A and B are shown apart, each in its own frame.
Chain A
Amino acid sequence: MYNLIGAGLIVIGAGIGLGQIGGKAMEGIARQPEAAGKIQTAMIIVAALLEGLAFGALFLGK
């Protein structure tokens, strides 16, 4: 029961984080479309790091 609540909290946190990353990246691309490639790469790396953290927490709480 408690680990399900924990999983929910992790997903909320990760969701907020991913939303921030994606949203800011889109703003950046809209501002400077010619830098889209670089922004995308950086975005994917940060998203991957965040995802690793979230999955690690989910995995430990299982």
Chain B
Amino acid sequence: MKIFQQSFRSFVLAILVILPTTIFANIAEGDGGRVSTKQEVEGYILHHLKDSHDFNLFSYTDDSGERKHVGFPLPVILWSSEGLVTFMSSEFHHDDNGEVIVEKNGLKFTKIHSKIYELEKGATAVNFDADHHATNGTKLLDFSITKSVVGILLIGLLMLFWFSRLANQYKKKQIPTGFGRVLEPLVLYVRDEISRPNVGEKHYRKFTGYLLTVFFFIWILNMAGLTPLGFNVTGQLAVTACLAIFTLVIYTISGNKDYWMHILWMPGVPIFVKPILAVIELVGAFIIKPFSLLVRLFANISAGHIVLMSLIAIMFTLKDSLGVAGATGLSFVLSFFLLLIELLVAFLQAYIFTMLSALFIGMAVAEHDHGHDLERETADVEDVRGDFI
């Protein structure tokens, strides 16, 4: 009976999480006639892909033609030319084109395309050059608690709560209760299917903690990106680059003698090939591996968000040719199935990132006990021949 109740509760929770994704469409609500629908949709998509300084849930235009925003402001923390400056993002009044200028400590700040600029002394407005870049403002070191940072902190706290509770449950009995039952098989999956075979039986315990953290961090954030909260955390280059650098540092630090030998002075090849291989291996280890990790995650998640928002925008762009009901129906069906695919992609990308991290770490810690001497290699060949005979 208790299990039934719990599964019912989980079901309701799942419905509550999945349903609002269809209401996501509200975000793309147009305010008719001002600019063409296509441009406006493009603007919304580009705006969504970027990080923002305030947490905007949705916005609409009321009957008197005034733009209303629903959400809450976040703190802006800047390191300006005269030290630390803090204020709330509501002081920009949702302006993103450098029209509103905030004065703090005698300095003037303005926000253009999600970037905050400090205006030069004496300037009263932003001057733009032909490419719409500010000419009299300088970019700042921006430590603001942006929407992405809120997402990371939120998911971090949630993971801390879930996993510390799961760990504590094992002190009392062998079987976890509640949400821990969902997490336990996933933890075991990452340990037994990703970490153990790829890192190697001898060293996997040391690295499983990192792999588990990365896996759940990416997966939960990917799924948070599919909710109408509109997080796009794993679609930020800064976030994926940071994760890739973690992996780079870990496999560089834990690399053993054999690993560095294989990079710098490859055994078993003619001597004049060795320097060429060393260059290729160095570029591969320090540039290509982390770059492929960071670009893959970033591009997959960004592409998913762009396609999803474009499909939702169908109800506005095809409204005239298909009618309101037809366009809405088409958009609903397409975006529903794309959301299902995106759920798969969210898991697959977390899996691939973790898997490749494990593989790279495994390459760095693998012990080549078989050696590279000729005797041993001929012995190996005979072994193989023996198998066939």
* A associates with B: yes
Interface residues of A (CB under 8 A from B): 41, 44-45, 48-49, 51-53, 55-56, 58-59
Interface positions of B (Cβ within 8 A of A): 291-293, 295-296, 299-300, 348, 351-352, 355-356, 359
Q: Which of these, B293, B300, B352, contacts A44 with CB under 8 Å?
A: B352
- Complex contact B355–A49 (CB within 8 A): no
The residue from A41, A44, A45, A55 contacting B295, defined by CB atoms under 8 A apart: A55
**CB contact between A55 and one of B299, B351, B359 (< 8 Å): that residue:** B299
**Contacting pair A52 B292 (CB below 8 A):** yes
Residues in B whose Cβ lies below 8 Å from that of A45: 352, 355-356, 359
Please state if B291 and A56 are interface contacts (CB–CB under 8 Å): yes
Nearest CB to that of B356 among chain A residues? A48
Interface pair A58/B292, CB less than 8 Å apart: no
Interface centre among B292, B300, B348, B359 (most CB of A within 10 A): B292
User: What residue of chain A has the Cβ atom nearest to residue B296's Cβ?
Assistant: A52
A residues near B352, Cβ cutoff 8 Å: 44-45, 48
Nearest 9 pairs of A and B residues by beta carbon: A52-B292, A55-B299, A48-B352, A52-B296, A55-B295, A56-B295, A59-B295, A55-B296, A51-B296
Contact B299 A58 (CB under 8 A): yes
B293 touches A52 (CB 8 A): yes
Q: Report B-chain residues with C-beta under 8 Å of the C-beta of A56.
A: 291-292, 295
B292 touches A49 (CB 8 A): yes
Is the CB–CB distance between B355 and A59 below 8 Å?
A: no
In the bound assembly, the distance between CA atoms of A12 and B352 in angstroms comes to: 23
Q: Which residue of A lies closest to B352 (CB)?
A: A48
Complex CA–CA separation, A41 to B196 (angstroms): 14
